[in-house]
A = this chain, B = another copy of it.
Amino acid sequence: MTIGDAAKASGVNAKLIRYYESIGLIPAAGRTAAGYRVYSSSEVNVLRFVKRARTLGFSIERIQILVGLWQDRSRSSAEVKRVALDHVAELEAKIAELRAMSDTLTHLAHACHGDERPDCPILRDLEEGGGNCCHEPPP
């Protein structure tokens, strides 16, 4: 199997496979006499594992850990679970951050007429730093 075949079989771009090899995420593939990389089905399985993990948003660093655990017969499921839950915590933090942004902007956009006039609460918020909301009376 050449790198192109492995790419098709795993769903990971050939370019990306080389990159993963270069950063040490996957071990260096074998080579033909001409220098072409050669892949076995077990190496394709690793690539598929990596791809699925990326799809779930794991960082390369954590995927390295997961691959290590995957190939370690004496692993404990607790280790795997901890890595996964650490990632979930990061995802939730990011979601909360984006949620706050979206809610604020949605609120502002709702208050904006969206017509041909220049007056706009969105710009007013950006101008004032969002410190004083239009709905809260001054103390």
Contacts and interface: CB of A to CB of B under 8 A. Distances in A.
A126 interface: yes
Contacts of A78: 113-116
A31 interface: no
Chain A contact residues, majority secondary structure: helix
Contacts of A109: 81, 84-85, 88
Given A52-B130, A74-B118, A77-B119, 10 more contacts: A49-B126, A57-B98, A75-B120, A77-B114, A77-B122, A78-B113, A78-B116, A80-B122, A81-B114, A81-B122
Interface of A: 45, 48-49, 51-53, 55-57, 66, 69-70, 72-78, 80-82, 84-85, 87-88, 91-92, 94-95, 98-99, 101-102, 104-106, 108-109, 112-120, 122-123, 125-127, 129-130
